[in-house]
Structure 1
Amino acid sequence: MPSTTSNPPFDGAANLPTIPKRRHRVDSSPPAEYHHHHHQQPVPNSPPDPKRARSDQHPPAAMSAKVLGKRPEVIDLTCSGGGGGITSTLPKRPSAFQPHMGARKLVIKNLRQPTSTHAAGVDEYYARIKEELDAALTSIFAGRPTAQPMEHLYRGVENICRKGEAAELSEKLRARCEAHLAGDEVLGRIKADGATADDITVLRSVLAHWKAWTAQLLIIRWMYSYLDRSYLLINKSLPGINDMGISQFRKAVFGNRKGPADAAPGLRVLSAICQLVDFDRREDERFDSALLKDSVKMIRLFGVYGKAFEPMFLTASHNYFVGFAEERSVSYGLKDYINACERLLRREAERCDLYNFDSTTKRQLRGDAHRILIENYASKLLDSGSVAKLIEAGDFESMKALYDLLKLSNIQKRLKGPWEDYIRAAGTAIVSDITRGDEMVIRLLELRRILDTMIRDSFYRDEEFTYALREAFGHVVNDREILSVWKESTAKGTSKVGEMIAKYIDMLLRGGLKTLPKTLLADRQDRADAEKSGIASTGDEDAELDRQLDQGLELFRFIEGKATFEEFYKKDLARRLLMGRSASQDAERNMLSKLKSECGSSFTHNLEQMFKDQELAKDEMSSYKEWIAGTGRDKTHNGIDLNVSILSAAAWPTYPDFQVLLPQDVVTQIDAFDSYYKSKHTGRKLTWKHNLAHCLIKAKFNRGTKELAVSAFQAVVLVLFNDVDGPGNTGVLSFDQIKQATSLEEGILARTLQSLACAKVRVLTKHPKGRDVEKTDTFTVNKAFTHPLYRVKINQIQLRETPEENKETHVRVAADRQFETQAAIVRIMKSRKSMAHAQLVSEVINQTKSRGAVDPADIKMNIEKLIEKDYIEREGGEYVYLA
């Protein structure tokens, strides 16, 4: 092309020269020798550069006119009008192009001179290209680099396709690939490898040839890229080169698309994959994870996974699951069987995810495993005896695994049967254990604690199991057959469990949390749940005590004989209030509010009156002391500070009277208060209960003075030694002398002396020494007594409640129950006037169930009593109320 001088800058107002709208072809074909003057030699077996490939992809100049077309004329772009160029039909106008040195012509010419073309040269070129392509395929199949540069081969393929021989080229490529894969180089070697080896070796051989073929196919795709992106892309009936290569390899190894033929090695490949999975299941060292992953990927790509491999794999897995279940169910216990099944299912799921098994395979595999391992062996998993051992051992992990296992087959609700069976069996064993009656409630709460924790941690708070727990506990604490073992110490219609719950709450309110075993205290999860629900953290002692009271009330809700609980709770509350033994007044009132919320105000009326009496007694004593101070009688008290608790006889329990001779100074003070109270409240009578009194006295010993907190009986005995411990006195009192001076019963006196002379704190000395007090013993003051504290509390040795006294309380409760039943019958008949027997019995049961269950036989007996008392009468088939 001729060189041109540099052009001046364009003027914004100037116009560029126009070119007539006439079509001309500009040809820049390479010379006939087809030399590449301005291109570098490409690297063999490298993908062609598309930009470079398109610049020199034309056939040689010696081609027919049909291929090359008509060559264009020489065009002078600087010509205006008719000057040497192509004449324009447009109107003439002056050129805006003004170079410095005048007008110059820009002429575009062909790069080579026209030469004569011959068909023989074209045919020779295409024949040579085809031979080069064929040789290149041979080299690729052999794993060698191609003789010709890859870019040269790429252009050859493009030129063949442009010539119109793409179909022939495509067919030839397909035939060469098929011959290579089905021949001795691939299929032949695979068969040779498997002739004397196992299926795993065949799989390795197939996978190795597949990887080699994948690399070869990539080079082929580079070389035939133009064919792949033009002819094959447009022709939908023919696969692309990549799809064709995959299809050819699959056909060679696995036969047709429907599945591997018997003669093809595909069956052995699929069998080998199943063997690899089996090796993994049995933890065989022959397992090869990389081989399994690559194999599954290969068969998924070939399209034989779903139709050929999946059925074979599921069948093999089914057989393995059957054998696994049969073996473990016989040789393993429930816990080991659960763990084995859980581990198997987890590993099966992980394997499917890790090695890219299809999701349908995973779903079918899981369903088959659930049917075989769980549903077919549900009788083993739900065996009551085996489940009971896990619950009793507190094996939360195994129970959680069992629940999860059953949930996989949606039969977890069937676990409720063994769950209830265990609770009833364990609860019955606790309630009917006469030898450990004092531990009944603690053991029941420990059982309840384990079960609640299991529901929380193992059953995901499933409400079904919570309901089952309540039903089973209700049966245990109310079943008359179970409670019949306590008939010697109870009465008909009373509840031993109610009595023991009252004593448990008394223990809590007296001693606090230190009286409980650690197994009943809240754990970290309980505290977290309490904080989430807005309750104070159970890490606080008061909050934990409140929680333990709630646990006791949970058992209380189950019992039907609530009257028994009320009677014993009333006795224990009175003792705590009178003796000042409550660990916390706030806890006492909190418990009272809980009972009121649970049973109503009628249940807690007397209990609330007891607290009111305590407050009124304080006011009464304040008034009395003001009166004493005003009259000047406080100077005659000889240092005695009297405090009296005035109690309502109807609200408080009845206590027996004990005869005792009090010191004269004390008697004087008592008479003064008695006179004051009767003068203030007419028509009232005071009954003094000295056995409930307690005193604080000062005692002088050799090592200092101490304050002794003792009971009234202990104080009466100690004061006697003031009269014998002086000049001319021996300071010795015999058992008979003390008895005569105090008028105490022998049993009470013996326990009192034992607490003073034989217990841990010994202010008296017994002669002779021993643990028991005899009638022949003598006592002196232990002047050498010492104690680190100034105020020393000496506990009275309490006589435990005798079976007779316990029985008497139950009998009293049963009698009160009969009176309550009669009162209910009268109330019902007074409002209804007449009722049939069945209706009356049903209504009585409904009105009295809050206080405990009543037998229909007891109701009938009370109806007969009311008929005898002329409250009601029979008329026909009904009862009629008599006004």
Structure 2
Amino acid sequence: MPSAPGEAANPSRRRPRLSSSSSAATSKRPKFADTPAMASARARGKLPETIDPTPRPSAFQPYTGAKKLVIKNLRAPNSCDAQVEEYYARTERELDGALGAVFAGGRPAVPLERLYRGVEDVCRRGNAEKVYTMLTTRVEAHLRTVVLPRIRRAGGNSNLEVLRSVLAEWKAWNSQAVTIRSTFSYLDRTYLLRESLPSINDMAIAHFRRMAFPQQDTAASSEGLSGAKAVTGICEMIEYDRRGDERMDAGLLKDSVRMLYVLGVYVKHFEPMFLRQSEAYFKEFGASWSASSLKEYISACETLLRREDYRCIAYNLESTTEKQLMDSAHAVLIDHYSDKLLNGGSLSHLLSERDVKSMKGLYDLLRLSGIQKKMKAPWGDYIRTTGASIISDKDRGDDMVLRLLELRRSLDLMIRDAFGRDEDFLWGMREAFGNFMNDRTTSACWDTGTSKIGEMTAKYIDMLLRGGLKALPKELPSDAKGRAAAEKEGHAGSADEDAELDRQLDQALELFRFIEGKDAFEAFYKKDLARRLLVGRSASQDAERNMLTKLRGECGSNFTHNLEQMFKDQELAKDEMEAYRQWSDANSERKPAVDLQVMILSAAAWPTYPDVRVNLPDEVATQIERFDGHYKNKHTGRILTWRHSLAHCAIKATFPKGAKELLVSAFQAVVLMLFNTVPADGFLAYEQISTATGLQGGELDRTLQSLACGKARVLSKHPRGRDVKPTDTFTFNKAFTDPKYRVKINQIQLKETKEENKATHERIAQDRRFETQAAIVRIMKSRKLMGHAELVAEVINLTKKRGSVEPAAIKKEIERHVTPIASALIEKDYLEREDNSYTYLA
């Protein structure tokens, strides 16, 4: 191993001799005679010839230490300097040769450890700058004269081949730089660090960069075509990837981008060219897809943006490049085509198709450019147009609320799954619902004068409370996400039927909140609730009371006063019947043949029903008279009006194939009781039944049809047919059988006629006029003097919870005679008009 300068570098060099400043001769001392043992030992060669028994003084004893030593170099000085110079010259030659071998792709002939020591010796001598200059010169010359021509020869005119050549030379150069950096490590850690010069690694990178990407203002700019072609080749590779060209090489692209990073030319040379090329590609892409449908365009843009984002991650493009790339894509594909993306007709088509995926893609695209809020306008227009078409569809009026709830359901799912629960779209939906549900132009097609949607909402809730979830279409029940959200909000047992029914009632109540004409809802809800309570058709008493609680919370106790009175009447009727039974048991010797159950209703709270006269059997009539007498004795001054059309009963019937218990209405029971007196082979004609029961017309036809033409045919009609005619005859059906002991025979319900529906709406309008007059009087009584416009505004504000009132209708109630019942307030001397103001008189 070579030594440092100043040491014995030549192997022939000997150590310097040690010499003393005094003589080393030993003084003579007398000898002693040998003993026999000593003589024998000496004879065997174990002892020296002579022994000096006098002990010598130690060189390390105090005051008797070693003599002064002098080290003398006995070699000639001229020969040593020559050998040192020869060593350094040889070291420089070895380093130069080692660089040549490394550049040629081989290994140096001299061991790397010896080369490292040589660099260290030269640097210690003070020639570090000379070594650095030699190294940089050789590196620059090799790159310029060997590597660059080799790249040009291998690349030819193809950008892709130039890229492959540059990348191959770069990888080879990295391998060579590792060997160079290891060999010249001492130079790197001392001289370069002390002089703040670039490290050997940075120097190698910088020289390769200048070779491949020279400065534009230098004479070598003409030689820099290889670097520009390499960058163009990278862009071509990305273009191949975009278009699915088989010439795409993922490994080559990834390594090339990494090379640009290390060389430090990524931002200056590659990024601008890449962004310009990408923008041109986006423009071409947008133009090619601009004529397609909105759904196809959204899908294509989603795919493109997803692939662009994946490409930036897969090939390690910088985050700043990715942001500029995506911003360019958003500007070209979204901002430039925003009219197409926000087209009301196309968007309405996606919403009507309930295409959540495409709407989510559209929302995400618009959000990337920050213009997703612009979708609120076509979103609201679609809701208003679709809702108005549903309300004005007179042919499907019975399905109005179902269709509105399906629309609301689809919009809720769109907001949840496509718009990320964006509150702006939720409020936009609610505003649009309020607009079209209370639009007077839309509702005018029904010619009712009141809210048709209020009527249909009440009927829909009646359907829910009568039939439960079985009456719902499959689109309306909550999905798994909806049930999970309900559980998260604290609704216990959200998976059972009661909880689902409660959620559906809430959905119907959402529509009710938008309705301004709540008086129409109240009238029809009251009518349907009375029927459910009287006939016992409610699916759940808990649901009935729960709905009443919801209405009280929405509209106040005044709105639900009569409805709550119905439930109270039921409770009072139970107490009244319990008292009657106790009185009857105490005043009767035997149990009556008829178990009478009476429900007493207050006329003010319940709807009015037509009085249908019927001839009751003697047993029933006797019990009714007995109860009537008991009640009048207990409550003086009260009058009972019997409504037999609402009654129902259970009767026992004996058939040849077994006894049954029939659950029938009062009219059905009256007809069946007639056959107790008919012989086994006898029959009753239509006229005979009518005369005996007192039923006529439609009531008798529906009753006979339910008994002889329904599912449970306890009577037989002659001749057979679905319709009942006055010439028909009826017999007892001896062949009747049913697997159940208790058989319910449903009465054929008479659908509400147009005249009855119109009468109900007229009654609502009449009540609204009375309420308007009462509001005017209350306001004028408190204010005494008011202008016309101010009074109209106050009346509208006071009555808007019950129903919307037109300003013209308010003026009519004030000034002139409207109907024989509701004359104008001025004519009744409640008000007096002076110019454009009113004065309270009463």
Same fold (TM over 0.5): yes
Q: Which residue of 2 aligns with 1:391?
A: 351
Tell me: CA distance 1:229–1:80, structure 2 relative to 1, closer, same or farther (3 Å).
farther
Unaligned 5+ segments in structure 2 are 11-15, 22-57, 816-823
Alignment equivalent of 1:811, drawn from 762, 787, 801 = 762
Distance 2:490 2:217 in 1: 65
Paired position in structure 1 for 2:318: 358
CA distance in 2, matches of 1:129, 1:876: 122
Is 1:743 aligned to residue 694 of structure 2? yes
User: Is the contact between residue 632 and residue 638 of structure 2 (CA under 8 Å) also seen in structure 1?
Assistant: yes
Residues in 2 aligned to 1:277 and 1:595: alpha-carbon distance in whole angstroms: 64
One-letter code aligned to 2:77: S
* Residue matched to 1:213: 173
Q: 2:655 aligns with which of 690, 701, 704?
A: 701
| Cα displacement string for residues 481-523 of structure 1 (whole angstroms, at most 9, x for unaligned residues) | 1112211xx2x2x111111100000000001001101211111
TM-score (norm 2): 0.91
Q: How does 1:127-526 map to 2 (within 5 A)?
A: 127-183=89-145, 185-195=146-156, 197-236=157-196, 238-256=197-215, 261-264=221-224, 265-330=226-291, 332-487=292-447, 490=448, 492=449, 494-526=450-482
Match of 1:878 in 2: 837
| Partner residue in 2 for 1:687 | 641
Equivalent residue, structure 2, for 1:782: 733
Superposition deviation, residue 83 in structure 1:
2.6
Task: Using the TM superposition, give the Cα deviation of residue 74 of structure 1 relative to its aligned residue in structure 2, in angstroms.
Answer: 9.9
Pair 1:578-2:578 in alignment: no
With over 3 angstroms needed to count, the CA separation of the structure-2 counterparts of 1:579 and 1:671, relative to structure 1, is same
Counterpart of 1:253, as a letter, is A
C-alpha distance in 2 between matches for 1:662 and 1:117: 155
The answer on whether the counterparts of 1:61 and 1:117 sit within 8 Å (CA) in structure 2 is: no
CA–CA separation in structure 2 for the residues paired with 1:528 and 1:815:
47
Corresponding position: 1:838 with 2:789: yes
2:44 match: none
Q: Deviations over 1:6-27 (max 9, x none)?
A: xxxxxxxxxxxxxxxxxxxxxx
Paired position in structure 2 for 1:824: 775
Contact 1:628 1:634 in 2 (8 A): no
Matched, 1:84 2:66: yes
Q: Aligned partners of 1:242 and 1:842: how far apart in 2?
A: 86
Which runs of structure 2 are paired with 1:523-542 in the superposition (5 Å)? 523-542=479-498
Q: Tell me the residue number matched to 1:122.
A: 84
Q: 1:345-391, CA deviations, whole angstroms, 9 ceiling, x for partnerless residues?
A: 22222222222222221111111111111111101111111111221
Bigger Cα displacement from structure 2, 649-658 vs 332-341 = 332-341
CA 336–249 in structure 1, closer or farther in 2 if over 3 Å, else same: same
**1:609 pairs with 554, 565, 584, which one?**
565
Alpha-carbon distance between aligned partners in 1 of 2:296 and 2:406, rounded to the nearest angstrom: 26
Aligned counterparts of 2:633 and 2:18: Cα–Cα separation in 1: 148
For 1:814 and 1:274, the matched residues in 2 are separated by 76
Tell me the amino acid that sits aligned with residue 83 of structure 1. Answer: G
Cα displacement (A) at 1:326: 1.0
Separation of aligned partners in 2, 1:483 and 1:866: 29
Q: Where in structure 2 are the equivalents of 1:531-680 lying within 5 Å? A: 531-632=487-588, 635=591, 637=592, 639-680=593-634
Matched to 1:149, the amino acid is P
Amino acid of the structure 1 residue aligned with 2:841 = L
Runs of 4+ in 1 over 6 A off after TM superposition: 70-77, 107-110, 257-260
Contact 1:530 1:537 survives alignment (8 Å):
no
Structure 2 letter corresponding to 1:769: R
Deviation, structure 1 residue 764: 0.6
Distance change >3 Å, CA 339–CA 165, structure 1 → 2: same
CA RMSD of aligned residues (A): 2.2
TM-score in terms of structure 1 length:
0.87
Q: Which amino acid aligns with 1:592?
A: L
Distance in 1 between residues matched to 2:303 and 2:6, nearest whole Å = 69
Contact 1:527 1:537 in 2 (8 A): no
Using the alignment, how far apart are the partners of 1:174 and 1:407 within structure 2? 54
Q: Give the secondary structure class of the aligned counterpart of 1:607.
A: helix
1:764-791 Cα distance to aligned partner (Å, 9 max, x none): 1111111111111111101221111111
- Paired amino acid for 2:94: E
In structure 1, distance between residues paired with 2:348 and 2:306: 26
Contact 1:528 1:537 in 2 (8 A): no
- CA distance 1:827–1:144, shift in 2 (3 Å): same
- Deviation string 1:140-193 (CA, Å, 9 cap, x unpaired) is 11112211111111111111112221111211111111111000x210111112
Which amino acid is the alignment partner of residue 669 of structure 2?
A
List per-residue Cα deviations over 1:709-737 (Å, max 9, x = no partner): 111111111111112236xxx52110011
Bigger CA drift: 420-429 or 444-453? Answer: 420-429
Judged with a 3 Å threshold, the aligned counterparts in structure 2 of structure 1 residues 224 and 658 are, in CA distance, closer, same or farther, namely: same
Aligned position for 1:27: none
Q: 1:77 to 1:246 in 2, by over 3 A?
A: farther
Percent sequence identity is 60
Cα-to-partner distance string for 1:421-478 (whole Å, 9 max, x where unaligned) = 2111221221111111111111111111110011011111111000110111111211
Please state whether the residue corresponding to 2:751 is helix, strand or coil: coil
Distance 1:71 1:733 in 2: 159
Q: Tell me the alpha carbon deviations over residues 89-126 of structure 1, each in whole angstroms, 9 at most, x when there is no partner.
A: xxxxxxxxxxxxxxxxxx9989x965534333222222
Amino acid at match of 2:553: S
8 Å CA contact 2:718–2:730 kept in 1: the answer is: yes
* Paired residues of 2:17 and 2:71 also in contact (CA < 8 A): no
Instruction: Supply the distance in 2 between the matched residues of 1:388 and 1:62 (Cα, whole angstroms).
Output: 94
Q: Distance in 1 between matches of 2:309 and 2:342?
A: 25
